[in-house]
Every structure is written in structure tokens, then in C-alpha cells.
Structure 1
Amino acid sequence: MIGERDVLVIHDERMLAHRPNAEEPFQPGKLDSRVQAILGGLFEGAVIKWSYPEHPGRLQAITDLLMREPVPGVRYETGRPATEDQLGRVHITSYVENIYALRGKQAWLDVDTTAVSPGSVAAAEVAAGSAIAAVEAVMEGRAGSAFALCRPPGHHADSVRARGFCLFNNVAVAAAHAQAELGCERVLIIDWDVHHGNGTQDIFWASPNVLFFDTHRAAPFYPGSGNKEEIGVGLGEGLTVNVPLPAGCGDPTLVRAYREILVPAVEWFKPDLILVSAGFDMHRLDLCMNLSYSGFGALTGIVQELADKHCGGRLAMVLEGGYHLESLARGVRTVLEVLAGGDPPEIEEPGISDVVSLADFHRDAFR
């Protein structure tokens, strides 16, 4: 029953201060000129102008829905900024210092349209700190599970580079904190964002104590990585598990991948903590894949079952992508319902139940 399990949501309005605007002037420099040249064609004579897709409205859509339709068993706390030492566990010192130097400025960081506004650095610190807070809550037993509503997202940021709207790798910072401070030896990171979590993969590429499992739309879809042959190196060989999928895959495909690939991997790895990079751009309304709300609920049920069996229920989720506001908000709420004790939904091909109902309606006409 929904409400039987305790769920903590970490939400902090300071993350709304990250608001890059492509029409505002950026710092002078070659990168800014290159990006503006790329975007220039989108502005000239365009009826609908390009706008930065990772905007504050994403979090606002989620919180607005959760206020209108509260989920029993869900409570809220604010986050806190991650420290330089905490960020430095996964990002090199010079990178962190370079990001800090952009505090209060507006600048492009990468040609794939990763940018900052005056409030972005503070927002990114709080995003990473919120992921840490979620992990601490489940490790200390203060919450059955936790969900950190983070932005900017993190899974494309590697140790030296900002990419794909990401500045600090929130889930990686949280995993490293769990290992350094909270007594976790083995951490499982699951990434169900439609885009491959290349930054997370790179950070833990040679780690023997982090299992990284990623389902995503296959290359050449952005960022172009995540082939099945990418399995890690050295002591981390075999601990990166990529499941690249063709466009159009939906609920049955993802559930089967989790049950037939993730479950045996976790049985072998036996994690102390499970983290999820929870993107919601696999939903069909985001036009990249074909997952439904029931699909997100079913994946949550599988992951929660694994957490209950292997690590005392210690499960924390960290928001990544999802850019269609309706599917993002409704997807998060669906996940929270399952975390709070709701039954994972049954999976079927889209439209099957509608056809059954319509057949019942029309059947008597042909007798």
C-alpha cells in the first residue's frame, strides 16, 4: 500500500538559480563565438527560438505536481552545498577550480551547449550536495529510500569536463562519499536515462568497487558511447555493463533487460548501496524511446526488490534528464509511489488494455 514505506525527497530551491539563456551575452572567447555561431541559424528568422532545455521549469513541474497530488509516505528536506573536498573525490582539482572561477558569470563550457549563468555554480554545488544528503539519509537509517531532485544533472560530467548540461557528476560524488565516509565498500550505480552516462562510466572505469549498469539508446545517439564492449579496464574490468538499445524500445524490453542482465549481475556483486541515475527522457513523450509511466514503476519495483534483498533497502535516486515537463513530473511521481509501498504496475504493450475494452464494446454488434 502506498504510504507503508518512508521516502525522503531532497529538494532545494537554490538549484533554480541555474538558468543559462542562449539569447543573453556570454563571456568573450573562442568557445562562446563557436557556440553562438552554431545557434545563430536557429535564431535568425526562427518563429520558435532555441532555448536552453535544462531549465528551472523542470524542477518546478515536479514539485507543482507533488504539491497538487501528494504521495503518502513522502517527506521533504532541503539539500546543502557539496564541499570542494567532496567534489574532488571524482573531479580533478583544476577542473573544480575552473568551475568555481565561473561563479557569478555567464559562459559556455562546452560546444555541446553546456553553459552557466551567474547562479549556476552555487546550484551545481547544492545538486551534488543533495545527492550526498540522499545517500546519508538511507545509510544512517533516517529514510527507507531517498530521491534527490537535482539540477543541473550530472551523469555526462567526467573528472575533467562539463558536458550535456552537466557540471558536477552528482551520482558519482554521492557514491564516492558513501565509500569514503559511510562505510560502503561496494556501490551499484544504475543509469536509466535515455542517454548513456559517459561521465559516470569514465570516473569508475577502473574501479573494482563500483558496478555501473546503464540502459540507453544506442550510438550514434548522444553522447555516442556505451557500446556493449565497453566493460571497464584493469581491476574494474567487467564492472561496467552497458545495454545499448534501438529506438522505439518500451516497457517489455527494459523490464526484460533488468531481469535478465541486471538481476544476475547484482546477485554476483552484492552491493552495500544502490544508486540510480534516474532520467525520465525514455518516456515516449520525450520522443527518444517508448517507455510509459508503468515502465518506470516496474523498473523501480525491480530495483527496490534488489535493494531489499542485498543491502537492507538502501536505495537512493538522483534526478538526471527528462525534458517534457508532463512526463518528467508524472514519471517522478510514479517512481515515488512505488518507493512508498505501491505495487509495481503490470507491464503490457501500449494499447493492449484499450483493445480489450474496445473489443468488449463492439463484440455484440457482430452476433
Structure 2
Amino acid sequence: MIGERDVLVIHDDRMLAHRPNPEVPFQPGKLDSRIQAILGSLFDSANTKWSYPEHPGRLTSITDLLTRESIAGVRYETARPATEEQLGRVHATSYIENIYTLRGKQAWLDVDTTAVSPGSVDAAEVAAGSAIAAVEAVVSGRAGSAFALCRPPGHHAESVRARGFCLFNNVAVAAAHAHAKLGCERVLIIDWDVHHGNGTQDIFWASPDVMFFDTHRAAPFYPGSGNKEEIGAGLGEGLTINVPLPAGCGDMALIKAYREILMPAADWFKPDLILVSAGFDMHRLDLCMNLSYSGFGALTGIVQELADRHCEGRLAMVLEGGYNLESLARGVRTVLEVLAGGQPPEIEEPGIKEVDELAAYHRDAFN
């Protein structure tokens, strides 16, 4: 029943101050075509005027829906900004210092879709701090599960490079904090954003303490990484699990991947904590893949089952992508309902139930 489980949502209005201006020049004559080529299906055509898709409306669309349609068992808190020490567990000192020099400025970092506005660095610190707060709440037992509504997102940010709208890698910062300060020896990170979490993979590539499982649309879709042969190296060999999928995949394929690949991997790894890089651009309205709201609910049920089995329910989700405001907001709400105790939906191929009903209706006419 919804409300049986306690869910903490971390939300802070300071993250709304990240407002990049796409009109700021970087490489005149090259920027628009480069970005449109990278983002591909987010735009109707190459002639569409580009605007920055990672905007404050992403968060306000979620919070507006949750205000209109509240969920029993869900409560809200704000967060503290991540410190340089916390960020430094996954990012190079030189990189952090370079980002700090952009505080209060409006600039493009590179042509790879990443820009900042005067409030962006502060917002990014709060985003990473929100992911840390979510982890601290579930590890301490102060919340059954937690969802950090973070922006800018993080999973494309590498240890020394901002990429794909991301400045600091929020989920990686939270995982490293859990390991360094909260006694979590084995952390499982699940990434269901439609884009491969290249930054998270890069940061934990050789780590024996973090298992990284990522379902995503296969290359050459952005960022072009995440092939199945990418499995980690050194002490982390085998702990990176990539599941690249074709564009048309929907609920059935994702659920099959989670049940037949993730579940046995998690049962072997036995995590102390599960983190989810929760992007909502796999939804069909984002035009990248074909997941439904029920699909997100079913995936949440699987992840929650793993958390209950291995780590006393310690599960924290961190918002990543999702650029259609309707599916983003509704997707987050669907996930929160399951986290709060709602029954994960039963999934079947779209239309099968309706065809069965129609066949029964028409059958007598031909007997």
C-alpha cells in the first residue's frame, strides 16, 4: 500500500540558479551544428533553433506535479552543498579548482553541450550535496529510501572533464562518500538513463568496491561509449556491466535485462548500498527509446527487491536526464509511488490485453 514505506525527497531551490544561455558564443558557426549532431533525436530537424534542454523547468515540473498529486509517505528536505573534500574523492583537484573559477560567470566549457551561468557552480555543489544527503539518510536509517532531485545532472562528468550537461558526478560523489565515511564496503550503482553513464564508468573503472550496471541506447548514440566489452580493469575487472540496447526497446526488454543480468550480478556482489542514476529519457515521449511509466515502476520494484534482499532496503536515487517535462515529472512520480509502497505494475506487451478482448468480442461471429 502506498504510504507503507518512508521516502525522503531531497530538493533545493538553489539548483534552479543553473541557467546556461545558449546564445553565449563559443565557436561561431560550429557550435549549433555540433550540438545538434550530438543530441540528435531531441530535435525535430537540423534547422531547429537550439536551446539548452537542461533548464530549471525540469525541476519545477516535477515539484509542481508532486504538489498537485501528493504521495503518502513522501517527505522533503533540503541539502548542504558538497565540500571540496567530498568532490575531491572522484574529481581531480585541478578540475575542481577550474570549475570554481567559473563561479558567477556565463560560459561554455566546451562544445560537448556543457555550459555554466552565474549560479551554476553553486547549483552543482548543492546537487552533489543532495546526492550525499540521500545516501546519508538511507544508511543511517533515517529514511527507508531517498530520491535526490539533482540538477545539473552528473553521470557524464568524468574525473577531469565536464560533459553532457554535467559538472560534478553526483552519484559518484555519493558512492565515494558512502564508502569513505559511512562504512559501505560494496556499492552498486544502477544507471537507467537512456545515455551511457560514461563518467561514472570512468571514475570507478578499476575500483573493486563499486559495481556499475548500465542499460542505455547503444553507440553511436551519445556519448558513444558503453559497449558490452567495457567491463572494467585491474581490481575492478568484471564490475562494470554494460547493456547497450537498440532504439526501439521498451518495457519487456528492460525488465528482462534487469531480471536476467542485474539480479544475478547483484546477488553475487551483495551490495551494502544501492544507488540509481535515474534518468527518464528512456520514456517514449523523449523519442530516444520506448519505456512507459509502468516500465519505470517495474524497474523500481526490481531495484527495491534487491535493496531489501541485500542491504536492508538502503536505496537512494539520483536524478539524471529526462527532457520532456510531462514524462519526466510523471516518471518521477511513478517511481516515488513504488518506493512508498505501491505495487509494481505487471508488464505485458502493449496492446495484447486489448487484442485479447477484441478477439473475444468478434470470435462468435465466425463460429
The TM-score range, normalised by the shorter chain, is over 0.9
Q: 1:37 maps to what in 2?
A: 30
- The 1-side partners of 2:301 and 2:156 are apart by 26
TM-score (norm 1): 0.94
Q: 1:184 maps to what in 2?
A: 184
- The 1-side partners of 2:18 and 2:351 are apart by 39
Q: 1:301 maps to what in 2?
A: 301
Structure 1: stretches of 5+ with no match in the other structure: 27-31
**Letter of the structure 1 residue corresponding to residue 311 of structure 2:** C
Deviation at 1:18, TM superposition (A): 0.4
Q: 1:92 maps to what in 2?
A: 92
- The 1-side partners of 2:158 and 2:253 are apart by 29
1:261-301 CA distances to partner (integer Å, 9 max, x unpaired)?
10110111000000000000001111111110111000000
- The 2-side partners of 1:366 and 1:104 are apart by 73
Q: 2:71 maps to what in 1?
A: 71
Q: 1:195 maps to what in 2?
A: 195
Query: Relative to 1, partners in 2 of residues 1:104 and 1:351: Cα closer, same or farther, differing over 3 Å?
Result: same
Let me know the Cα RMSD of the aligned residues: 1.6
Q: 1:320 maps to what in 2?
A: 320
1:278-329 CA distances to partner (integer Å, 9 max, x unpaired)?
0000011111111101110000000000000000100000000000111111
User: What SS class does the counterpart of residue 254 from structure 1 fall into?
Assistant: helix
Alignment pair present for 1:118 and 2:118? yes
Structure 2: stretches of 5+ with no match in the other structure: 37-45
Q: 1:29 maps to what in 2?
A: none
User: What SS class does the counterpart of residue 33 from structure 1 fall into?
Assistant: coil
Note the 1:260-279 alignment, pairs <5 A.
260-279=260-279
- The 2-side partners of 1:290 and 1:140 are apart by 37
1:2-49 CA distances to partner (integer Å, 9 max, x unpaired)?
1100000000011010011212x35xxxxx125x6322798xxx9852
Alignment pair present for 1:50 and 2:44? no
Note the 1:1-367 alignment, pairs <5 A.
1-23=1-23, 25=24, 32-33=26-27, 37-39=30-32, 49-359=49-359
Deviation at 1:186, TM superposition (A): 0.5
- The 2-side partners of 1:205 and 1:355 are apart by 47
Identity rate, percent: 85
1:86-124 CA distances to partner (integer Å, 9 max, x unpaired)?
000000001000000000001111212210011100000
User: What SS class does the counterpart of residue 226 from structure 2 fall into?
Assistant: coil
**Letter of the structure 2 residue corresponding to residue 309 of structure 1:** R
Query: Relative to 1, partners in 2 of residues 1:308 and 1:220: Cα closer, same or farther, differing over 3 Å?
Result: same
- The 2-side partners of 1:238 and 1:255 are apart by 22
TM-score (norm 2): 0.94
- The 2-side partners of 1:110 and 1:287 are apart by 26
User: What SS class does the counterpart of residue 190 from structure 1 fall into?
Assistant: strand
Query: Relative to 1, partners in 2 of residues 1:361 and 1:63: Cα closer, same or farther, differing over 3 Å?
Result: farther
User: What SS class does the counterpart of residue 16 from structure 1 fall into?
Assistant: helix
Number of equivalenced pairs: 357
- The 2-side partners of 1:38 and 1:179 are apart by 39
- The 2-side partners of 1:123 and 1:354 are apart by 46
1:208-235 CA distances to partner (integer Å, 9 max, x unpaired)?
0100000001101100000000000000
1:177-196 CA distances to partner (integer Å, 9 max, x unpaired)?
00111011110000000000
Deviation at 1:50, TM superposition (A): 1.1
- The 2-side partners of 1:137 and 1:110 are apart by 35
Query: Relative to 1, partners in 2 of residues 1:135 and 1:218: Cα closer, same or farther, differing over 3 Å?
Result: same
